[in-house]
Protein backbone atom coordinates (compact mmCIF):
# COMPACT_ATOMS: atom_id res chain seq x y z
CA UNK A 1 0.00 0.00 0.00
CA UNK A 2 1.95 3.03 -1.30
CA UNK A 3 -0.59 5.65 -0.20
CA UNK A 4 -0.23 8.87 -2.21
CA UNK A 5 2.69 9.19 -4.58
CA UNK A 6 3.81 12.15 -6.66
CA UNK A 7 6.10 12.40 -9.65
CA UNK A 8 8.44 14.06 -10.22
CA UNK A 9 9.99 15.02 -6.86
CA UNK A 10 11.95 17.96 -8.27
CA UNK A 11 11.75 19.95 -11.49
CA UNK A 12 13.32 23.08 -12.89
CA UNK A 13 11.53 24.82 -15.74
CA UNK A 14 12.22 27.88 -17.83
CA UNK A 15 9.53 30.54 -18.12
CA UNK A 16 6.99 29.52 -20.74
CA UNK A 17 7.66 25.79 -20.57
CA UNK A 18 4.91 23.34 -19.74
CA UNK A 19 4.82 20.30 -17.51
CA UNK A 20 2.48 17.83 -15.85
CA UNK A 21 2.62 16.67 -12.26
CA UNK A 22 1.20 13.24 -11.55
CA UNK A 23 -0.51 12.19 -8.36
CA UNK A 24 -1.54 8.60 -7.75
CA UNK A 25 -3.35 7.01 -4.79
CA UNK A 26 -4.10 3.36 -4.13
CA UNK A 27 -6.65 3.81 -1.35
CA UNK A 28 -9.72 4.04 -3.59
CA UNK A 29 -10.41 7.59 -2.38
CA UNK A 30 -13.03 9.66 -4.15
CA UNK A 31 -11.67 13.08 -3.26
CA UNK A 32 -8.34 14.41 -4.45
CA UNK A 33 -6.70 17.81 -4.08
CA UNK A 34 -3.77 19.81 -5.39
CA UNK A 35 -2.19 22.40 -3.12
CA UNK A 36 0.74 24.73 -3.39
CA UNK A 37 2.85 25.82 -0.46
CA UNK A 38 5.12 28.83 -0.67
CA UNK A 39 8.02 29.27 1.80
CA UNK A 40 6.84 29.84 5.35
CA UNK A 41 3.20 29.70 4.32
CA UNK A 42 0.27 27.38 4.69
CA UNK A 43 -1.46 25.39 1.97
CA UNK A 44 -3.49 26.97 -0.80
CA UNK A 45 -5.92 24.87 -2.79
CA UNK A 46 -5.40 24.97 -6.55
CA UNK A 47 -7.94 22.47 -7.87
CA UNK A 48 -9.78 19.49 -6.52
CA UNK A 49 -11.83 16.54 -7.69
CA UNK A 50 -14.82 14.85 -6.06
CA UNK A 51 -14.69 11.81 -8.31
CA UNK A 52 -13.49 10.34 -11.56
CA UNK A 53 -14.14 12.68 -14.47
CA UNK A 54 -14.89 15.71 -12.28
CA UNK A 55 -12.71 18.68 -11.37
CA UNK A 56 -13.30 22.05 -9.75
CA UNK A 57 -11.39 25.25 -9.03
CA UNK A 58 -9.92 26.01 -5.66
CA UNK A 59 -8.54 29.21 -4.22
CA UNK A 60 -5.68 29.79 -6.70
CA UNK A 61 -6.53 28.04 -9.99
CA UNK A 62 -5.13 30.54 -12.50
CA UNK A 63 -2.31 29.17 -14.65
CA UNK A 64 -3.12 25.53 -13.83
CA UNK A 65 -5.31 22.82 -15.32
CA UNK A 66 -6.21 19.40 -13.98
CA UNK A 67 -7.66 16.13 -15.14
CA UNK A 68 -9.02 13.06 -13.37
CA UNK A 69 -9.51 10.46 -16.07
CA UNK A 70 -9.00 7.58 -13.66
CA UNK A 71 -10.09 7.47 -10.05
CA UNK A 72 -6.60 6.77 -8.77
CA UNK A 73 -4.83 9.55 -10.72
CA UNK A 74 -5.04 13.32 -10.54
CA UNK A 75 -2.88 15.33 -12.94
CA UNK A 76 -1.87 18.97 -12.54
CA UNK A 77 -0.70 20.82 -15.63
CA UNK A 78 1.15 24.06 -16.10
CA UNK A 79 0.69 25.22 -19.69
CA UNK A 80 3.11 28.17 -19.61
CA UNK A 81 5.15 28.26 -16.43
CA UNK A 82 5.86 31.58 -14.71
CA UNK A 83 8.34 32.38 -11.90
CA UNK A 84 5.34 33.02 -9.62
CA UNK A 85 4.58 29.31 -9.86
CA UNK A 86 7.81 28.41 -8.11
CA UNK A 87 6.54 26.48 -5.11
CA UNK A 88 6.16 23.08 -3.51
CA UNK A 89 3.12 21.22 -4.79
CA UNK A 90 1.29 18.69 -2.67
CA UNK A 91 -1.36 16.24 -3.68
CA UNK A 92 -3.78 14.81 -1.15
CA UNK A 93 -6.71 12.42 -1.10
CA UNK A 94 -9.45 11.49 1.33
CA UNK A 95 -12.40 9.19 1.57
CA UNK A 96 -14.86 11.63 3.16
CA UNK A 97 -15.11 13.22 6.60
CA UNK A 98 -11.75 11.97 7.77
CA UNK A 99 -8.08 12.69 7.36
CA UNK A 100 -6.39 13.77 4.20
CA UNK A 101 -3.44 11.71 3.08
CA UNK A 102 -0.62 13.66 1.52
CA UNK A 103 2.02 12.87 -1.04
CA UNK A 104 5.66 13.79 -0.44
CA UNK A 105 5.50 16.89 -2.64
CA UNK A 106 7.05 18.19 -5.85
CA UNK A 107 9.52 21.04 -5.59
CA UNK A 108 9.18 23.19 -8.70
CA UNK A 109 11.45 26.05 -9.67
CA UNK A 110 10.63 28.28 -12.62
CA UNK A 111 13.51 30.38 -13.89
Partner 1 sequence: SQQGEEDPQALSIQEGENATMNCSYKTSINNLQWYRQNSGRGLVHLILIRSNEREKHSGRLRVTLDTSKKSSSLLITASRAADTASYFCATDAWGDSNYQLIWGAGTKLIIKP
Cis peptide before 8 (omega within 30 of 0): yes
Residue 7 or 80: which CB sits closer to partner 1? 7
Q: Which is nearer to partner 1, 62 or 99 (CB)?
A: 99
Q: Which is nearer to partner 1, 17 or 61 (CB)?
A: 61
Residue 99 CB neighbour total at 10 angstroms: 8
Binding mask 21-60 for partner 1 (x = CB under 8 A): ----------x-x-------xxxxx--x-x-----x-xx-
Percent of the chain that is helix, strand, coil (3-state, to 5): 5, 55, 45
Amino acid sequence: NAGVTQTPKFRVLKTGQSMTLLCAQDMNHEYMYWYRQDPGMGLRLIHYSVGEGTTAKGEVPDGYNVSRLKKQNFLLGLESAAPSQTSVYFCASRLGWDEQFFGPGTRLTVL
